[in-house]
Amino acid sequence: MKLFEYQAKQILESEGAKVPRGIVVSEDEDVEKALTLAGLSPPLVVKAQVLVAGRGKAGGIKLANSIEEAKQIARNMLGSRIKGIVVRKVLVEEAIEHEKEYYVAITIDRAKRGAVVLASSMGGVDIEEVARKYPDKIIRRSIDFTKGLRGFEARAIGKQLGFKGKLLMNFTNLLIAMYKVMRKYDADLVESNPFTVKGDEIILLDARIIIDDNALVRHPELKKVPIRETGEFTEWEVKAREMGLTFVELDGDIGVIGNGAGLTMATMDLVSYYGGRPANFLDIGGGASSELVKKAVKFLLDFPKAKRIFINVFGGITRCDEVAKGIIAALEEARERKPIIVRLVGTNEEEGRSILEKNGIKAFADPVEAVKTVLSS
């Protein structure tokens, strides 16, 4: 789960990091009063609190030269949409005049089974692009998870960024605070892009924290963002999640259902290999009940992008008869008919096949033959 910028800044500030002075205003608050009382010194920046990437270019970050102008911008921004997402809160901050922008992040290091610090003196831009074009401009340092991030490691990174004296000490404190936040909140990522330097101080102009979804149960203090406001999912993906389906929308026209993430991806790839385009990824997982299969098939019957449906099941723990029953039940309740091609092998294959064939659906054993049939149907 991504946290909003203002949440990330509050958390990092509580561990000692420096952020610009500012306030958060919600759509149900009196913008006039809140900004009058806040006592901020212009110029100010008004930043929409939405979780979409590229909000700046989409009009979600604006400069104000006076309190009055900030009020005007905040009023207009609240309730408006940035890339389709409603702005519920804005962060109004004192603008920090600065020249240089840096990047720093701590994330999970899969390879070394620990954490990794990424830092660069080329901040403020898309860091993936920097990594591609100027790989030597990115400092990487793996952190042993048992030992944790230590001061000497932070100082070494600070030195590489060119920091000295008091500034080096402040950078060290920032990095240690970021690591502490990462561990305390089960974060996948703690990032500031950019931060800048004012005298001896380090100021975070932006901040981002992503919490491991599987750890949210351990953090009741973090309020869950409504799924529609996360900016991560399409309308149909939101619907699927609300129904408990593991679904990703793609651009093609062939609906795909598989059991298991790897097999479902391989099925999409197979469709594409033989010249088709998958409309989605829909994984019914292991040991799916007929009820779940029915839900999945009905969902794709409703999903307008899927003109044809290809169901690929390799029954191990999943029983083919359950799958077949689910498909038939979905078709009985469906408003719309679409060609459905089923490839079914494994546990209880015979029962599954006979259930389908009784209802006029051919069950293929060979996936390649099945895919070719989908493409010609």
Partner 1 sequence: MAILVDENTRVIVQGITGREGSFHTKLMLEYGTKIVAGVTPGKGGANVHGVPVYDTVEEALKSHPDANTSIIFVPARFATDAVYEAIDNGMKVVVVITEHIPVHEALEFVNYARSKNTWIVGPNCPGVISPGKTKVGIMPGHVFREGNIGIVSRSGTLTYEIAFTLTREGYGQSTAIGIGGDPITGMDFIDVLEMYRNDDETKAVVIIGEIGGDAEERAAKYILDTKYPKPVIAYIAGKTAPPGKRMGHAGAIISMGSGYYEDKVKAFTSVGVKVADTPFRVVEYIKELIKD
User: Which residues contact partner 1 (rule: CB under 8 A)?
Assistant: 107-108, 110-111, 113-114, 127-128, 131-132, 145-146, 183, 186, 188, 212-215, 217-218, 246, 248, 250, 258-266, 268-273, 278, 281, 283, 285-286, 314-318, 345-347, 367-368
Q: How far is CA 47 from CA 94, 169, 294, in A?
A: 11, 30, 44
Tell me the closest approach of the beta carbon of residue 74 to partner 1, in angstroms: 30
Nearer to partner 1, 74 or 271 (CB): 271
Tell me the closest approach of the beta carbon of residue 224 to partner 1, in angstroms: 16
Radius of gyration of the chain from Cα atoms? 26
Tell me the closest approach of the beta carbon of residue 303 to partner 1, in angstroms: 16
Tell me the closest approach of the beta carbon of residue 370 to partner 1, in angstroms: 12
Rounded CA separation 243/295 (Å): 8
Nearer to partner 1, 43 or 285 (CB): 285
Tell me the closest approach of the beta carbon of residue 367 to partner 1, in angstroms: 7
Nearer to partner 1, 94 or 212 (CB): 212
By DSSP bridging, strand 340-346 and strand 308-315 are parallel
Rounded CA separation 141/318 (Å): 44
Nearer to partner 1, 43 or 287 (CB): 287
> Considering only CA atoms, which of 216, 251, 220 is closest in space to residue 236?
251
- Residue given tokens 């391989």 in the structure block: 266
For the question of residue 291 being annotated catalytic, the response is no
What tokens appear for 263 in the block? 């097999």
What tokens appear for 202 in the block? 């380090």
Beta strands (DSSP E) in the chain are 22-26, 44-48, 61-64, 81-82, 85-86, 89-94, 102-109, 114-120, 138-143, 187-198, 201-204, 208-211, 246-249, 254-258, 280-283, 308-315, 340-346, 363-364
Nearer to partner 1, 194 or 258 (CB): 258
Among 103, 179, 185, 349, the one annotated catalytic: 103
Report whether 316 contacts 345 (CB < 8 A).
no
Rounded CA separation 91/29 (Å): 13
Tell me the closest approach of the beta carbon of residue 173 to partner 1, in angstroms: 22
Nearer to partner 1, 16 or 286 (CB): 286
- Residue given tokens 């900030």 in the structure block: 70
Among 101, 191, 322, 349, the one annotated catalytic: 191
For the question of residue 102 being annotated catalytic, the response is no
Residue 166's SS3 state is helix
Rounded CA separation 117/137 (Å): 14
Q: Cβ of 239: how many Cβ atoms within 10 Å?
A: 15
Nearer to partner 1, 41 or 146 (CB): 146
Tell me the closest approach of the beta carbon of residue 298 to partner 1, in angstroms: 20
> Considering only CA atoms, which of 50, 341, 10, 65 is closest in space to residue 204?
10
Q: How far is CA 93 from CA 58, 201, 208, 291, in A?
A: 19, 17, 16, 51
Q: Which residues are catalytic?
A: 103, 191
